[in-house]
Amino acid sequence: MNKKVNTALFILGATFLNMLIMVLLILLGLFIISLIFKDREMGAGGQIALIVVFAGGVIGAFFIYNKIIRIVANKVDMEKYFHPIIKPRKR
């Protein structure tokens, strides 16, 4: 495989990983909400909690994904295996 194929596969895999992390965080948050509002009606507090869970899932996934990519980038020489996505400007 060449660098362009490696780059495309890495982007697809990283995107899948990011989405998987986000879904897991949202499901965990929904599970916690279901424990909190076990026998009661959710009302306005539950709606706010749902919004916080979805926003927290997206933001949390972003930070976890960034941490994982930094660890991978420190261990693997990216320039050796991947084609640059953004080319530097010629001056």
The pTM score is 0.78
Tell me the pLDDT tens digit for each residue of 25-75.
Answer: 999 999 998 888 887 777 788 889 899 999 999 999 999 999 998 998 888
Tokens of 34: 């279901």
DSSP per position, 7-57? HHHHHHHHHHHHHHHHHHHHHHHHHHHHHHTSSS--HHHHHHHHHHHHHHH
- More confident site: 90 or 24: 24
Residue showing tokens 């949202």 = 26
Would you say residue 3 has pLDDT above 90?
no
**The pLDDT of residue 86:** 66
How many whole angstroms separate alpha carbon 50 and alpha carbon 37? 12
- More confident site: 60 or 9: 60
- More confident site: 18 or 82: 18
